[in-house]
Amino acid sequence: MSNGLNMTLGTIAKLSRARTRSITAENVYGEKGRGGMAEVSATPQPEVARIGQEWEESGAARELGRTWKVRPCINLPTGVETTLMDVDGPGCIQHLWMTLDHKYYRDVILRIYWDGEATPSVEAPIGDFFCQSWNRRTPITALPINVNPDGGLNCFFPMPFRAHARVTVESRYPQRAQGFFYTINYTLTEVEDDEAYFHAQFRRVNPLTYGEEYPLLDGVQGWGQYVGTVMAWQQNNTGWWGEGEIKFFLDGDAEFPTLCGTGTEDYFGGAWCFRGNYSAPFMGYPFGDSGFNADPPPASRPGNRHLLYRFHIMDPIRFAEDLRVTIQALGWRGEGRYLPLQDDIASVAYWYQAEPHAPFPALGDRNALEII
């Protein structure tokens, strides 16, 4: 009998002993028969007090009362790591949905901790995690990430856990972040031995040092597969910016990688300087002001911003011992030779691996992440 994971149209009809649960502000533990119990009252529910969230309810329901839309969202205090999910396993998160004002995208940090670990396996600004860089809402129709009008953030990466799952958000916005909505759909079920843990890590370098490659990911130790890249790229030079090659250093590779790409737009599934925006199931250039949509393309301008994604769903990058991923920032000089760039680049790398994982580099303070 199926454990209810790895669902496709080919497996959706299979019976399973898995039990479906859903966490929202109306049922903070996703418990059976305990949704919609909030009251228009100054007294928090015991579950809300236990999870440590601030108690708030909607005055709009004062004439309707309990079982109605009393507590559909929460507000996030500044500098506090607010817990959204805190449940025992085994189980698997199957869908994340969140929405908030786009001005908070780089200021609200999403973290996920598996099985009681001290350091997170997922740590990224919520906007960048959902392919929403530059504090700008952008429609995304990728297979694992959907962003729908107007700012509905969806993630379908399966996230199995064995002992425990904890999901938090930390707001760094100077004032309380108002109106944070969330739904975490998960299943309680057996997790097989070969199911790896989901990881995602944010990085940002501004500006990149001349002649250095951008470090998408390094320090990964263990066994797993790399499954995705999201990049937010701001030009600091005039001209085409996407000549750089991506490199995957696998299992002891030193100076030379096992996988080496041929150009930035090639890795993200495009060609010949893009000359247009697109969002597809596995790859996309959904937002960009490159100035290369004309033919012949004019010179692009400093300050132009780009958003790119590539999900290795059908072609995961397998590693058995360790992994390092870099991409070159490389432009083009007018006299016909390459130009190493000093651009503002941020990224999220997504991968699965067996735990334990190496601690992530420090995320940096709000000033290090801020979009100006």
Per-residue pLDDT of 249-302, as tens digits, reads: 999 999 999 999 999 999 999 999 888 899 999 999 999 876 555 555 555 788
Tell me the per-residue pLDDT of 110-160, one tens digit each, with 9 for 90 and over: 999 999 999 999 999 999 999 999 999 999 999 999 999 999 999 999 999
Q: pLDDT by residue (tens digit) across 35-49? A: 988 888 878 889 999
Q: Please tell me the total number of residues recorded for the chain in this structure.
A: 372
Cα–Cα separations (whole angstroms), residue 293 to 91, 114, 136, 277, 297 = 46, 44, 21, 9, 6
The reply to whether CATH 2.30.30.240 applies to domain 19-194 is no
What is the distance between the alpha carbons of residues 297 and 46, in angstroms, rounded to a whole number?
A: 61
Helix ranges (H only) for 220-342 are 264-267
How confident is the model over 209-256, as pLDDT tens digits?
999 999 999 999 999 999 999 999 999 988 889 999 999 999 999 999
CB burial of residue 24 (10 Å; 0-12, 13-18, 19+): buried
- Position 10 scores a pLDDT of 86
Q: What is the mean pLDDT of the chain?
A: 93
| pLDDT tens readout for residues 352-368 | 999 999 999 999 999 99
* pTM, entire model: 0.96
| DSSP structure class, residue 269 | T
CATH superfamily for domain 198-369: Protein of unknown function DUF2961 (2.60.120.1390)
User: Would you list the domain boundaries of the chain?
Assistant: 19-194, 198-369
Model confidence at 369: pLDDT above 80: yes
Long-range contacts of 149-155 (CB under 8 A, 24+ apart): 151/99, 151/100, 151/102, 152/97, 152/99, 153/96, 153/97, 153/98, 153/99, 153/126, 154/95, 154/96, 154/97, 154/130, 155/95, 155/96, 155/129, 155/130
Distance CA 334, CA 332 (A): 7
Residue with tokens 């108002």: 178
